[in-house]
């Protein structure tokens, strides 16, 4: 086989905007090759052994530097624990803080693959609507009168799928609610550093000392998804619960070796430069998608151009069901993620998600022209 495959890979020749992964030209082959060479040039054999439960302290110091420079205050290495990425972290957090039958609040709509993680843990999922500016805090308060959630899962910067970002004021209200009602805010901040222009409000990592907050980060979107490396930032009390896990007691953190490689890129500033490159590449792609949509879909759909992240969220006329349109899209050589996949209740039927991360600017123009063909057929 000549190319790497992944579940749900697009058919050859199609421009399938459901794919939320970087295109080949944005994957850091040379950077990682250099990182491997530098690591092995200076490595001690003992670095290939197990390690600490929170992860390598040198790595955590370097990561704290990256997060502190991103703004909002100093991140301390003690507040950080490495993970196998956000999906693994979410599964781990559910295992540490919930029991089957507990309730989790999620955004409606939210990250397509989060729902199964919650279901794997036997959690009852309750949706809280977004209102154009992220999670609707008033709706959340109303739901808190009916339910006692253990967790609230939010994607506060450039929400997947809608691109919406939560204001600082709402973030603080949410943290206050978490203290009052005794639930944990699990903030999935996978797109926090991928802003196209001005940065979003400071991450939930800056709020961890105020209460029940877990800030979940990942190298998937700022370096390479296949590394499966990320982090959790939280206060000492929650860290104590996380690090008491039997899995961590057996061998320490989840991914020592990969963390040694990525540390090379953190320490010499290459990661910071790479993130800047990604931001400008994704900004150009978002601009291209916005222009293509205005050319081909004006009057047929509405959308807000996202200020960061990977996605456009399109709303079509209310009588349309985007799941019924997938066959026509495939026929036209394109694709999208239908809205119901992003809804815990199978709602959002007239909406669809488009990722601009997996294709170059010319392909984006071509693919949106194909989408128009599919939607007009």
Ligand X SMILES: Cc1ncc(COP(=O)(O)O)c(C=O)c1O
Inter-residue contact 119 to 250 (CB < 8 Å): no
Provide, rounded to whole angstroms, the least separation between the CB of residue 297 and ligand X. Answer: 23
Nearer to ligand X, 79 or 160 (CB): 160
x/- track of binding to ligand X for residues 266-305 (CB under 6 A): ----------------------------------------
Residues in 92-131 at the binding interface with ligand X, rule: CB under 6 A:
111
DSSP state of 204: G
Please count the residues of this chain forming the interface with ligand X, following the rule CB under 6 A.
13
Nearer to ligand X, 116 or 295 (CB): 116
Q: Which two tokens stand for residue 355?
A: 């990722």
Provide, rounded to whole angstroms, the least separation between the CB of residue 86 and ligand X. Answer: 4
Radius of gyration over alpha carbons of the chain, in Å?
A: 21
Provide, rounded to whole angstroms, the least separation between the CB of residue 218 and ligand X. Answer: 3
Question: Torsions phi, psi of 171, nearest 5?
Answer: -60, -45
x/- track of binding to ligand X for residues 15-34 (CB under 6 A): -----x--------------
Rounded distance, CA 108 to CA 73, Å? Answer: 30
Q: Which of 196, 371, 223, 214 is nearest to 298 (CA)?
A: 371
Residue 267 burial (10 A CB sphere; 0-12, 13-18, 19+): middle
x/- track of binding to ligand X for residues 36-75 (CB under 6 A): ----------------------------------------
x/- track of binding to ligand X for residues 70-89 (CB under 6 A): ---------------xxx--
Residues in 212-241 at the binding interface with ligand X, rule: CB under 6 A:
218, 220, 225, 230
Nearer to ligand X, 212 or 355 (CB): 355
* Number of other CB atoms surrounding residue 11 within 10 Å: 9
Q: Which two tokens stand for residue 69?
A: 């420079």
Nearer to ligand X, 201 or 333 (CB): 201
* Number of other CB atoms surrounding residue 27 within 10 Å: 14
Paired with 213 in beta bridges are 185
* Number of other CB atoms surrounding residue 356 within 10 Å: 30
Inter-residue contact 220 to 88 (CB < 8 Å): no
- Rounded to 10 deg, the angle between the 256-267 and 29-42 helix axes is 100
Nearer to ligand X, 18 or 218 (CB): 218
Provide, rounded to whole angstroms, the least separation between the CB of residue 82 and ligand X. Answer: 12
Q: Using CB atoms, what's the residue nearest to ligand X?
A: 85
* Number of other CB atoms surrounding residue 295 within 10 Å: 12
Nearer to ligand X, 160 or 322 (CB): 160
x/- track of binding to ligand X for residues 143-172 (CB under 6 A): ------------x----x------------
Residues near ligand X (CB under 6 A): 20, 85-87, 111, 155, 160, 188, 190, 218, 220, 225, 230
């Amino acid at each position: 086989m000549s190319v790497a495959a992944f579940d749900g890979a697009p058919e050859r020749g199609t421009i399938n905007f459901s794919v939320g992964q970087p295109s080949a030209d944005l994957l850091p082959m040379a950077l990682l090759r250099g990182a491997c060479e530098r690591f092995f040039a200076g490595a001690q054999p003992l670095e290939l052994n197990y390690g600490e439960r929170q992860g390598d302290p040198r790595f955590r110091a370097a990561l704290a530097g990256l997060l502190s420079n991103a703004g909002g205050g100093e991140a301390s290495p003690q507040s950080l624990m490495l993970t196998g990425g956000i999906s693994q972290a979410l599964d781990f957090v559910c295992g540490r803080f919930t029991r089957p039958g507990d309730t989790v609040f999620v955004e409606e709509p939210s990250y397509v693959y989060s729902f199964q993680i919650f279901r794997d843990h036997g959690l009852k999922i309750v949706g809280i609507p977004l209102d154009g500016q992220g999670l609707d805090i008033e709706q959340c308060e109303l739901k808190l009168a009916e339910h006692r959630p253990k967790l609230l899962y939010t994607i506060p910067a450039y929400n997947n799928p809608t691109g919406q970002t939560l204001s600082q004021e709402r973030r603080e209200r949410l943290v206050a609610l978490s203290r009052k009602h005794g639930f944990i805010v699990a903030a999935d901040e996978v797109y926090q550093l991928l802003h196209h222009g001005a940065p979003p409000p400071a991450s939930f990592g800056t709020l961890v000392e105020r209460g029940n907050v877990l800030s979940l980060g990942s190298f998937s979107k700022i370096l390479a998804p296949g590394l499966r490396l990320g982090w959790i930032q939280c206060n000492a009390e929650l860290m104590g619960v996380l690090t008491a896990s039997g899995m961590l007691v057996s061998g320490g953190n989840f991914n020592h070796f990969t963390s040694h490689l990525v540390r090379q890129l953190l320490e010499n500033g290459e990661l910071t430069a790479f993130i800047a490159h990604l931001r400008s590449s994704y900004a150009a792609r978002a601009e291209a998608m916005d222009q293509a949509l205005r050319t081909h879909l004006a009057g047929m759909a509405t959308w807000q151009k996202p200020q960061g992240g990977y996605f456009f969220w399109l709303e079509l006329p209310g009588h349309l069901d985007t799941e019924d349109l997938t066959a026509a899209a495939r026929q036209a050589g394109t694709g999208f993620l239908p809205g119901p996949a992003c809804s815990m209740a199978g709602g959002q039927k007239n909406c669809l998600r488009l990722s601009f991360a997996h294709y170059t600017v010319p392909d984006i123009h071509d693919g949106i022209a194909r989408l128009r063909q599919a939607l007009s057929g």
